[in-house]
């Protein structure tokens, strides 16, 4: 399902598919906002090639809220308690600087992307939540006086809600912004290739060989901007993150909307903002997160729609989609060198659903590292940090062993196994001590796969709402017939 953002950019540039071997100084893998922002900075002084497996900004960068904020939930009290005041202050400064930097790029490059300054609110209407908001404000005052305000009423139609208010935040259309960055990269003689899927990266003396389609790119330096890194060892990012999926929808509520951008503190966490669509105000709501690959008993779309229609009874849902992001176990993104054992490969991942400001932070840190310059925020996002994994529940399934007896997808299923699956549904069925992933279409057509993630071999779960096979370990997603959709799984299912 396409997002509103991807549908709104009707005049998209079609970048070519790679058709020959290339040598370059810097190869950026991933054409989302992190890859494009990094390419924007580096292409001013360097030879840059960007590789995107689908269309640029088609995945996470085109499916987010479009909110550019330095406050995202109750976070700074946590940072002070876990890492100290100086760390929290730098984290806040990094995000505030990113807002200013994005605005500066938009103005200087004349990118038309519906950029607007707006206040942002984290709200609650429970006693416990409001107390947390008061505590968060006190924490922020310790690192930057006057940065936020406590307000005891909000324009969002939620009764008895109080909020922490951050002024001078912003919103935009992330896909229009991404295509604006792409234009700048091309004007700087950079190269962008779409439908160009990287399948392997090899060290060749002091350079890297990137295998993409049937061609090879030789690069001095490589940037992995794929949301989830596709290299497992070294780095071991699969032990330090999991992926989370959110539901999103845009609605015409057929009445006046609010000012400001909002995100709830209380569970389920839901984000709200308005979109100006050619003079008409639309509502964007995103929420009801779940850990990718974990069975959900209730349709998140229905729950989100119920929330929207309770607030606005005449609401007409125009767009629905899901968005995925990586969640680091210590809540801090990983930005910088991929591993101490792999020089000249850089990574940006674990954005914790706070990707718009973080994409710019990451681009600046990686740009500075490649160009041999110091970055004052590099240390707080250090990708090679050696922190103990604190949440064992999140990683207990990370290295799940899959038995060799799991059956290949072309196995002929007995009728009783096919009868187990309802039309329009998918499930794993047992056949003679073997497991087969089966999807039965609404017309009764049968699709079978080996229900094992091609990343690290975890057993998959079928999401009957999105019709996708999902990995509970690291968040890979595959279509009902086994096509790889979301990293880190880059190979199709058997």
158-210 confidence digits (pLDDT tens): 989 999 999 999 999 999 999 999 999 999 999 999 999 888 888 888 899 99
Is 314 in the same domain as 444?
no
The total number of structural domains in the chain stands at 3
Average pLDDT of the chain to the nearest whole number: 86
Residue that terminates a domain, selected from 350, 373, 390: 390
Q: Is residue 425 assigned to a domain?
A: yes
- What b/e string do you get for 42-80 counting C-beta neighbours within 10 Å, with b at 16 or more? bbeebbbbbbbbebbbbbbbbbbbbbbbbbbbbbbbebb
Measuring CA to CA, which residue among 383, 50, 91 is closest to residue 225? 50
Is 194 in the same domain as 251?
no
Is 220 in the same domain as 319?
no
Cα(337)–Cα(388) distance, rounded to whole angstroms? 19
Measuring CA to CA, which residue among 181, 239, 238 is closest to residue 390? 239
**pTM to 2 decimals?**
0.83
Q: What is the CATH number of the domain that holds 440?
A: 2.102.10.10
Looking at residue 381, the DSSP 8-state letter turns out to be G
Assign 406 a pLDDT band (cuts: 50, 70, 90): very low
What are the strands of the beta sheet with 425-431, ordered from one edge?
Answer: 425-431, 434-440, 446-449
283-318 confidence digits (pLDDT tens): 999 999 877 766 554 578 899 999 999 999 999 999
Is 236 in the same domain as 336?
yes
Tokens coding 476: 């890979």
Is 279 in the same domain as 315?
yes
Cα(15)–Cα(51) distance, rounded to whole angstroms? 10
Other CB atoms within 10 A of residue 487 CB = 25
34 in Cβ contact with 348 (< 8 Å): yes
Is 233 in the same domain as 339?
yes
Strands 116-124 and 270-277, sheet pairing: unpaired
Is 254 in the same domain as 312?
yes
Q: What is the CATH number of the domain that holds 341?
A: 3.50.50.60
- Give the domain extent around 321: 242-259+266-326
Spatial CB neighbours of 473, under 8 Å, sequence gap ≥ 6: 238, 242, 293, 397, 398, 399, 400, 453, 455, 456, 458
Is 299 in the same domain as 448?
no
Is 247 in the same domain as 236?
no
Looking at residue 54, the DSSP 8-state letter turns out to be S
Q: Is the pLDDT of residue 411 over 60?
A: no
Q: Is residue 206 assigned to a domain?
A: yes
Q: Is residue 477 assigned to a domain?
A: yes
Is 49 in the same domain as 195?
yes
Is 231 in the same domain as 339?
yes
The share of the chain scoring above pLDDT 90, in percent, equals: 55
Spatial CB neighbours of 121, under 8 Å, sequence gap ≥ 6: 151, 154, 156, 163, 164, 165, 166, 260, 261, 262, 263
Tokens coding 207: 């350079």
Q: Is residue 255 assigned to a domain?
A: yes
């Amino acid at each position: 399902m396409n997002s509103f953002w991807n549908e709104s950019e009707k005049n998209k540039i079609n970048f070519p598919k790679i058709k020959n071997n290339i040598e370059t100084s810097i190869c950026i893998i991933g054409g989302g906002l992190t890859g494009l922002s990094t390419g924007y900075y580096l292409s001013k002084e360097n030879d840059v090639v960007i590789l995107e497996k689908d269309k640029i900004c088609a995945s996470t960068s085109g499916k987010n809220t479009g909110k550019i904020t330095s406050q995202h939930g109750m976070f700074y009290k946590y940072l002070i308690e876990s890492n100290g005041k100086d760390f929290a202050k730098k984290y806040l400064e990094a995000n505030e600087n990113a807002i200013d930097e994005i605005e500066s790029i938009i103005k200087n490059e004349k990118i038309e992307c519906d950029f607007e300054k707006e206040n942002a609110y984290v709200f609650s209407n429970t006693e416990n939540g409001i107390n947390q908001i008061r505590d968060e404000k006190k924490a922020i005052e310790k690192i930057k006086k006057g940065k936020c305000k406590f307000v005891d009423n909000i324009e969002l139609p939620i009764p008895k809600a109080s909020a922490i208010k951050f002024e001078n935040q912003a919103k935009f259309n992330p896909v229009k912004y991404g295509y604006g960055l792409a234009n700048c990269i091309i004007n700087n003689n950079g190269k962008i290739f779409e439908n160009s899927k990287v399948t392997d990266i090899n060290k060749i003396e002091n350079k890297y060989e990137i295998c993409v389609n049937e061609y090879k790119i030789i690069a001095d330096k490589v940037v992995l901007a794929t949301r989830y890194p596709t290299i497992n060892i070294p780095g071991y990012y699969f032990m330090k993150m999991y992926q989370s999926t959110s539901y999103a929808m845009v609605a015409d509520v057929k009445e006046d909307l609010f000012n400001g951008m909002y995100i709830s503190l209380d569970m389920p966490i839901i984000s709200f903002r308005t979109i100006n669509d050619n003079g008409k105000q639309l509502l964007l709501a995103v929420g009801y997160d779940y850990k990718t690959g974990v069975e959900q008993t209730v349709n998140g779309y229905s729950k989100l729609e119920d929330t929207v229609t309770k607030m606005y009874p005449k609401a007409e849902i125009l767009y629905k989609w899901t968005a995925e992001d990586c969640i680091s176990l210590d809540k801090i993104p990983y930005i910088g060198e991929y591993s101490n054992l792999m020089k000249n490969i850089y990574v940006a991942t674990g954005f914790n659903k706070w990707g718009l400001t973080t994409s710019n932070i990451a681009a600046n840190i990686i740009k500075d590292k490649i160009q041999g310059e110091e970055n004052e925020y590099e240390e707080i996002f250090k990708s090679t940090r050696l922190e103990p994994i604190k949440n064992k529940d999140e990683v207990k399934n990370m290295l799940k062993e899959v038995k060799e007896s799991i059956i290949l997808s072309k196995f002929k299923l007995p009728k009783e196994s096919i009868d187990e699956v309802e039309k329009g549904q998918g499930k794993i069925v047992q056949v003679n001590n073997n497991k087969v992933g089966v999807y039965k279409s609404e017309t009764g057509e049968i699709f079978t796969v080996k229900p094992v993630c091609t990343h690290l071999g975890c057993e998959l779960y079928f999401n009957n709402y999105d019709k996708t096979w999902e990995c509970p370990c690291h968040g890979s997603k595959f279509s009902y017939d086994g096509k790889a959709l979301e990293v880190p799984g880059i190979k199709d299912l058997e």
